[in-house]
């Protein structure tokens, strides 16, 4: 059986990333820097892997990243969109800065109230626990079919909760202790009943700073 690698790529930078706003499911497009981050990730992947499958969240910023990555990396695989790889839905709180969110709605501050914040549901949105459940289901589908190299273009939140799950961290620690920059690549290799985290939060050197 071919050695399986699953590459998680966080989308490129958006204006709301730069402004530290809660994006949720907003149709945020990439900045010029974000576009170059996507191309840099594509070149890095194209130089080192033969991609058999390309999966992406269907939100605008991930769709744009996937298309740029695919072109830059010379990837033949068509993009398969899967909404379960979306960022957490923050409902009516979407668009607030993180400072506004935590000052006005402290029940969502994981560092202050712990697991209760992971259970809190914003109006019109979903809890962190609900987001984790769908992301782990999406991961199960991808890892079950993994053979060769699969690229998944997704968001920070899904990467945090998935890495936390694989490391055996509780959800609060998974969010607070994990970092993943825009355009970063995380490589996961399923092996038997486990998963090796081969690299994490690896930003291609050719991405603009």
Within the chain, where are the H helices? 15-18, 32-48, 60-73, 98-104, 110-113, 115-119, 128-145, 156-167, 171-176
How far apart are alpha carbons 115 and 107 in whole angstroms?
10
Catalytic annotation, pick one of 11, 64, 126, 155:
11
CB-based contacts of 186: which residues, under 8 Å, 6+ apart?
Answer: 7, 8, 9, 159, 163, 180, 197, 199, 200, 201, 202
Pairing of the two strands 185-191 and 194-202 = antiparallel
Active site residue 11: yes
Do residues 144 and 6 touch, judged by C-beta distance below 8 A?
A: no
Locate 125 and state its tokens.
């949105």
Q: Which residue among 35, 64, 87, 126 is the active-site one?
A: 87
* Dist CA 131 CA 120 (whole Å): 12
| 148 φ/ψ sector (left φ>0, alpha ψ -120 to 50, else beta) | left
CB atoms < 10 A from the CB of 191, how many?
Answer: 10
Residue 100 annotated among the catalytic residues of the structure: no
Which residues have a catalytic role annotated? 11, 87
């Amino acid at each position: 059986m071919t050695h399986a690698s699953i590459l998680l790529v966080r989308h490129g930078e958006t204006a709301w990333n730069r402004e530290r706003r809660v994006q949720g499911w907003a149709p945020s497009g990439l900045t010029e820097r974000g576009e170059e981050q996507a191309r840099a990730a594509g070149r890095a992947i194209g130089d080192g892997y033969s991609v058999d499958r390309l999966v992406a969240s269907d939100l605008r910023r991930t769709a744009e990243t996937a298309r740029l990555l695919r072109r830059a990396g010379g990837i033949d695989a068509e993009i398969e969109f899967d909404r379960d790889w979306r960022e957490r839905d923050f409902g009516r709180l979407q668009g607030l800065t993180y400072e506004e969110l935590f000052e006005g709605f402290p029940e969502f501050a994981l560092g202050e109230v712990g697991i209760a914040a992971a259970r809190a549901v914003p109006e019109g949105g979903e809890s962190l626990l609900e987001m984790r459940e769908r992301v782990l289901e999406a991961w199960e589908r991808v890892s079950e079919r993994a053979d060769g190299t699969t690229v998944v273009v997704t968001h920070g939140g899904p990467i945090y909760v998935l890495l936390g799950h694989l490391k055996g961290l509780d959800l609060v620690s998974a969010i607070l202790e994990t970092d993943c920059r825009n355009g970063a690549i995380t490589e996961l290799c399923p092996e038997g009943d486990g998963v090796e985290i081969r690299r994490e939060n690896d930003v291609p050197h050719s991405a603009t700073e």
